[in-house]
Structure 1
Amino acid sequence: MLFSAIKPMTVSPGREPFDDHDFIFEPKWDGVRILIHKQGSRIEAYTRSGRAVTHKFPELQDALGAIRTSSAILDCEGIVLRDGIPAFDDFMYRDRISQSVKIARAVHTHPVTFVAFDLLYTDREHLNEPLVDRKKRLSDSIDATPVLMPTLFVETHGKALFEMMKERQMEGIVAKRKGSTYVPGNRSSEWLKIKVVKSIHVEILGYKIDPFELVIGLNFRTVKHKPVGVVATGITTADKELFLTLAGPLCTVREGNTQWMEPRLCCRIDYLDRTDMHQLEMTTFRGFLLDMRAEDCVWPY
């Protein structure tokens, strides 16, 4: 099991925050899943797909001393904090660079913290132990440092933690049944992610004709007018009629079911999730922003 790729157990979507004596609740960290393997003086890191990324994170050598057991497999989230809040794009920068000089510089400009939330192995496997037992082992097995720390969790009070995460502009919470075992590669119905709804101003790059959907975009540091998804929920008949009137003079080319247009119109949407490539998911239309410039619709770094 040590130093071999393990597909981590993943969460299922949840709806509303809840309180339950049979669950613990953790913050949902906005980073990338990393599994850390240690044996003696050797330490390695793997992504959820099994890609070895040890060379990208020299900080792991500092984490080595924080793990008390001689052997361990830790299930973690790799994050980069900015003003106390995880910045997903900052971690993706760390994952993207490969030149040793840039990596050495990024250790100081984009320092990584590995937030551990599960312990899969020490001197033996712990996969079939209840979560609460693995949590106790995890607490006993690592010392909290700026590079490696166990995640915060609370019992029972999921609603209060959700409100705290919302106030701190975090992604949300993860609810986990206390007795849950760890099944690698399984999407567990006993682990639920409950996300905070986020709002963002987007530009409209075009629309789908049948069914009707707005194609939405954002401006990034290196890419302008990047499509980031579609939105249909929340658009009323009056919204559609107004949009088609305004969009007429802006239309450019039609490609199949998509009518593209000059990026001149903006709107506000809510979304619940986004992919690693910044595609916004579970979107809801909230209204046009007729006085906003499209170039001001930017991804919030």
Structure 2
Amino acid sequence: MQLIPMMPELREKPFNDERYIFEPKIDGHRLMIRVKNGIAQLCSRSGIDVTMQYPELWRVPVVGAADVLLDGVAAFFDESAGSFSSEALRERMRMRKSMDIRIASVHSPVHYFAFDILEWNGKDLRGLPLKQRKQLLEKAMDDNRSYHRMFALDAEGKRLYEAIRSEGVDGIIAKRLDSIYAGGRSENWLTVHKYRYAQVRIAGYRKHGFGWLLEREGQRIGIVEAGVPGPHRQAFQGTAQAILTGEDRDYVYVKPIIEAKIRFLSRTSSGTVRNPEFVRFVG
């Protein structure tokens, strides 16, 4: 299944616009699912066949035994926590033994959220506007325990953005209703991340390649690489030489007295921050 998925560009702030629909951005495994003669084939964003990884998704609730090609995301919802868990999903993606996968598909099943339909009974739908493809998606498949059509809100991006509270929902995606499905990145789809913020201390830096070790309340919580301007890097390096405490093969350690504000998407169960970005120094 060699088809380049459509990808969003980044936008910093949410907005309202009647030309768009807005969907939650669920942190999951982007999958294209082709159903032909009742048999499902699942492929990752890079085109790798992952059909055997998700047995619970083999029966797609298409209407009238249609042949379809769906675009969407597989995600794990932790019912006990009431939120999506990207960490649990990554554990599932790493499974290789068929028995382990079978057991997980029963006790910890993933859900698939379909947000687009690209083919229907042999007809290529990519040249149709998104509004029309969404209407066809409603006709082509039903919802069940494993499959869901992605929720979308017309025009009111700010409202959806403010409503997001769940772990594993990274923000919103804005999609122009008149956009065709074009492979690769497109400004017709826009991602607005729902960032969280924290004040941290810098406890060291990488010897090879750039990265600052982050610490909060005495616990290592990750490495920040993104968003640090050149002058800030130089200022830190100048100060760091006076507060060195040691080193190993990979890192040089400093007294954690330099504070910074970061933003990030979520935390793992161990407290590590995902996708941290530097905002500014504090103090």
- Between Structure 1 and Structure 2, how many residues are aligned? 266
Counterpart residue number, 2:111:
113
Q: Which residue of 1 aligns with 2:6?
A: 9
Q: Distance in 1 between matches of 2:188 and 2:161?
A: 18
Structure 1 stretches of 5 or more lacking a match? 289-301
Change (3 A) 1:241 1:95: closer
- Helix, strand or coil: the match of 1:260? strand
Cα 1:282–1:204, aligned 2, differ >3 Å: closer, same or farther? closer
For structure 1, which segment, 82-91 or 134-143, has the greater mean C-alpha deviation from structure 2 after superposition?
Answer: 82-91
**1:58 matched residue in structure 2:** 55
Task: Name the CA distance, whole Å, in 2 between partners of 1:282 and 1:43.
Answer: 39
Hey, what's the Cα distance between the residues in 2 that align with 1:228 and 1:101?
38
1:22 to 9, 16, 19: 19
Contact 2:200 2:262 in 1 (8 A): no
Q: Residue in 2 aligned with 1:127?
A: 126
Name the structure 2 match of 1:73: 69
After superposition, the C-alpha distances for 1:215-241 in whole angstroms (9 at most, x for unaligned) are 12579xxxx8864536636x989x959
* Residue of structure 2 in register with 1:260 after alignment: 252
- TM-score by structure 1 length? 0.76
Shift of 1:264: 5.6
Amino acid in the other structure paired with 1:174: I
Give the aligned residue type for 2:34.
H
1:111 Cα offset (Å): 1.4
**Greater CA drift, 76-85 or 150-159:** 76-85
Residues 1:43 and 2:40 aligned together: yes
Tell me which protein shows more strand as a share of its residues.
Answer: 2
Partners of 1:273 and 1:282 within 8 A in 2? no
| Counterpart residue number, 2:152 | 153
Q: Distance in 2 between matches of 1:225 and 1:27?
A: 26
Alpha-carbon distance between aligned partners in 2 of 1:241 and 1:192, rounded to the nearest angstrom: 36
SS of residue matched to 2:14: coil
Give the superposition deviation at 1:133: 0.3
* Aligned-partner residue type, residue 16 of structure 1: K
Tell me the CA shift for residue 153 of structure 1. Answer: 0.3
Equivalent residue number for residue 293 of structure 1: none
Matching residue of 1:284 = 279
Q: Confirm or deny: 8 A CA contact 1:174 1:191 kept in the other structure.
A: yes
Superposed CA offset, 1:3-60 (max 9, x none): x222211000012111111111111111121001101221110000000000010112
1:266–1:240: structure 2 CA closer, same or farther, 3 Å change rule? closer
- How far is the alpha carbon of 1:268 from its aligned partner? 5.9
Match of 1:248 in 2: 243
Structure 2 regions of 5+ residues with no counterpart? 267-271
Q: Does 1:182 align with 2:181?
A: yes
